[in-house]
Copies of this chain bind each other. A is one copy, B any other.
Amino acid sequence: MPAVGTGRARQFAASEDLATRYQRVRATTRRLAAPLTAEDCMVQSMPDVSPTRWHLGHTTWFFETFVLPLFGKHETFQPGFEVLFNSYYKSVGPQFPRAQRGVISRPGLAEVMDYRSHVDAQVHEKLANAETISAQDQFVIELGLHHEQQHQELLLTDIKHVFSCNPMFPTYETRDPEKPVEVPAATWTPVPSGVQEIGWDSPDFAFDNERPRHQVVIPESEICSRLVNNGEYQAFIGDGGYRRPELWLSEGWAWVEESSRTAPLYWLDGEGRQEFTLHGCQDLAPHRPVSHVSYFEADAYARWAGARLPTEAEWESLASTQPLEGNLLDSGNLTPEPPSGNGKGVQQMYGDLWEWTSSPYTSYPGYRPFQGSLGEYNGKFMCDQWILRGGSFATARDHIRPTYRNFFPANTQWQFTGIRLARDAS
């Protein structure tokens, strides 16, 4: 079993030391929770959703469990938290049942914030007093911060779902309405093909599932210049998209029939006049990327459009040639945006919405999980999930990479997901 991480650990801004970075990332989480009431932070609107309170506690538990002990004997903040805030680390100990997180009212929000402050103070003290921190220990702290950033995005996907269940439709953040803009026509860009390399091999931070870098054969193919937008998706619906089994995977069609689905998750009516967003109910903007589609919907749309979804290798092969910039959490938009510019080249590879690929989530050849309990982070989920790439408007800029592999089951809709098309080279 190799070391958990290797070599250097400096994915973040080079000028920023670890303590500053810790403080900045943790503060972002608090800022994202700030618009919410104690009551909002309680709700688990479906088993996949966690209450905000739990996200705040769990990310703190991660530092208490995996980081503080690196610096010597650590006294537990509050017995019981190690069960309540353990997500799925069976080698650490028992977990409170995931689907029941919404029934826990104590510790309340104020106590959880105390817990955060307490752990933050301890981490700061340890970092300030440590003479040196080994690369391995730095790695664990960085992992904790990347973990925190994953939960920042989940906090937003989850509270959006929570608010969507309230017929009074609360608003996470207010925003002025806006006018649709013209979107340039989609174009197609060739993907670097033949024997290529994908995966991460820098000593900088990456998750275990992005390693090792390895060769793949990529066929001659093309990727579309931008994400599919609401207007295009309306055309799919108008053409009977949700009534034609020949467009769907067998499992996807069963899902459509069981759930009587006729539109993406937050479209408020079958005709798509209104959409629920973090800014409340809004007129559906045809020029914005279509979001909250399942893999089934992305796959069916692509078939209808005479195209297909890209494989993750195709996606990465092209994305690696693009600048890592886009409409990410740092932009503060909290919504996917239409592509800017004149339509030349490929756009929106990073940010806006996670892009479904046609690749199931499996291990790379020679994959080694992180060492010890952290080995439960990624590897045990490599079953019946699908790879998404590129991040969304809720993903931090210093959290995403060309090799980053997000993964969710095919019926997932409540994440910030979208569709990018690909096709075989003609």
Which residues on A are within 8 Å of B, measured CB to CB? 37-45, 53, 80, 83-84, 88, 90-91, 96, 100, 102-106, 108-109, 162, 165-168, 170, 195, 214-217, 219, 221, 245-246, 248-253, 311, 358-360, 362-363, 365-366, 376, 380-384, 410, 424
Residues of B contacting A380 with CB < 8 Å?
A: 248-250, 253
Contact of A43 among B40, B42, B167 (CB under 8 A): B42
Could you list 19 A-B pairs, sorted by A, with CB under 8 Å?
A37-B106, A37-B108, A38-B38, A40-B108, A42-B42, A43-B105, A44-B103, A84-B167, A84-B168, A100-B165, A102-B103, A103-B165, A195-B215, A217-B217, A248-B380, A250-B380, A250-B381, A251-B383, A384-B410
Nearest first, the 7 closest Cβ-Cβ pairs linking A and B are A360-B360, A39-B105, A219-B365, A42-B42, A384-B384, A39-B108, A250-B380
Residues of B contacting A246 with CB < 8 Å?
A: 90-91, 376
Q: How many copies does the complex hold?
A: 4
> Are the C-beta atoms of A358 and B366 separated by less than 8 Å?
no
Given contacts A214-B219, A253-B380, A359-B362, 4 further A-B contacts (CB under 8 A): A39-B108, A40-B108, A106-B168, A252-B383
State how many angstroms separate the Cβ of A406 from the closest Cβ of chain B: 16
> Are the C-beta atoms of A384 and B108 separated by less than 8 Å?
no
Residues of B contacting A221 with CB < 8 Å?
A: 365
Residues of B contacting A39 with CB < 8 Å?
A: 38-39, 41-42, 53, 105-106, 108-109
Residues of B contacting A381 with CB < 8 Å?
A: 249-251
Residues of B contacting A41 with CB < 8 Å?
A: 39
